[in-house]
Structure 1
Amino acid sequence: MRYSNVFMAFFRSGMLGFGGGPAVIPLLQKEVVEKYHWMNDDEFGDTIALSNTMPGPIATKLAGYIGYRIGGLWGLLVALAASVIPTVLLMVLLLGILQNYKDVPWVQNMSQTVVPVVAVMLGVLTWNFVRQSQKALGWGVAIFLIVTSAFLMEVIGIHPAILIAVLIAVVLVPFIKRVVSK
């Protein structure tokens, strides 16, 4: 592990993650899991699930945790700097320029042309999570949890963090009872 690799992984993800945190997740997965092999798909999925239960931007939380995990305190600082500082500088620069040209048609259509690409990236990431769920739980349980989660979040309006916390509790309570009873 080199700090330059940590910097580049989070810098590339931050610079190419058009659309915010959710768009960064598939890019980080490519860097962290596929390119550098710092985590496997299951570990990355667990990291995303736990990150979603905490307040704050997902990209920053992922950078902080993954950076710390692979490089200690310096890894954390490098990953956070790579994911935050360039984005802040670009935001200041680009928003200033875009505000001057906000009525130009190509500027108005710019984000609309990128949305389908981000949708495909999120779709591929989602399918990878579905396959991981199937491997761990089987198709029946995986599909039940997917459908139930979609219903609870989209129809009833339960926040994903609450749903994740409840599922974690459902898994941990029997484990804790066994440990305490021994």
Structure 2
Amino acid sequence: MRDIFMAFFRIGMLGFGGGPSAIPLVEKEVVGRFKWMTLEDFGDTIALANTMPGPIATKLAGYIGYRVGGIMGCLSAMIASVIPTVILMIMMLTVLQTYKDIPWVQSMSNAVVPVVAVMLAVLTWSFIKQSKDSMGWLKAILLIVASIILLEVLGLHPGILIAVLIAAVFVPFKKKGGE
């Protein structure tokens, strides 16, 4: 329980910028440090969590905590991830609101966006490499390009795309040669 609490407490303390910025931190703790999940399991967990409403960091904490430590692990992970965020949010918003017109405070706030973008890019690249290993470059690239077109060009909701892909996994298919 202590490891679950400390892992999600660190994430709660360092995940400035919302759920998307916390995902790489969760991956580092859950897959890298404690090895509670494989990268593939973590990717599946993110995909499933994105189909449900609510903050992604809380959903990940609840599920991973439950998977590792049952009900108590779930409660421990959720408390650890939410309490620091609430305390830090109140403190930081008070400070930022008080000093919002000072140039260095504006620069600090603007600097967070590219840092989060880089963290997400690193996580995305690790998922792309994993996709290459499991399905090959051609299929992985085709799926990535199709997803970008559906999401960005056609405006399809991500939950719909994820649900269709999950459903497609369960559709039986025949291999060539009657195998």
The alignment covers a number of residue pairs equal to 173
Q: Which amino acid aligns with 1:74?
A: M
Q: Which amino acid aligns with 2:130?
A: Q
Cα deviations by residue, 1:61-108 (Å, 9 ceiling, x for unpaired): 000000000000010001000100111111112212221111111111
- What does residue 179 of structure 1 align with? none
- What does residue 43 of structure 1 align with? 41
Taking the aligned partners of 2:52 and 2:83, their CA distance within structure 1 comes to: 22
Residue 21 (structure 2) aligned to one of 9, 20, 23: 23
Q: CA deviation at 1:114?
A: 2.5
Q: CA deviation at 1:171?
A: 1.6
| Worse-superposed segment, 31-40 or 131-140 | 131-140
- What does residue 178 of structure 1 align with? none
Moved over 3 A (4+): none
| Worse-superposed segment, 95-104 or 141-150 | 95-104
Q: CA deviation at 1:110?
A: 1.1
Residue 137 (structure 1) aligned to one of 135, 144, 148: 135
Cα deviations by residue, 1:108-146 (Å, 9 ceiling, x for unpaired): 111212222222211110011001111111111110000
Q: CA deviation at 1:169?
A: 1.1
Taking the aligned partners of 1:171 and 1:77, their CA distance within structure 2 comes to: 32
Could you list the runs of 5+ residues in structure 1 that have no partner in the other structure?
176-182
Q: Which amino acid aligns with 1:133?
A: S
Q: Which amino acid aligns with 2:20?
A: P
Structure with the bigger percentage of helix: 1
Q: CA deviation at 1:174?
A: 2.9
Aligned identity (percent) is: 68
Matched, 1:150 2:145: no
**TM-score (ref. length: structure 2):** 0.93
Q: CA deviation at 1:173?
A: 3.5
Q: Which amino acid aligns with 1:33?
A: V
Could you list the runs of 5+ residues in structure 2 that have no partner in the other structure?
174-179
| Worse-superposed segment, 118-127 or 106-115 | 106-115
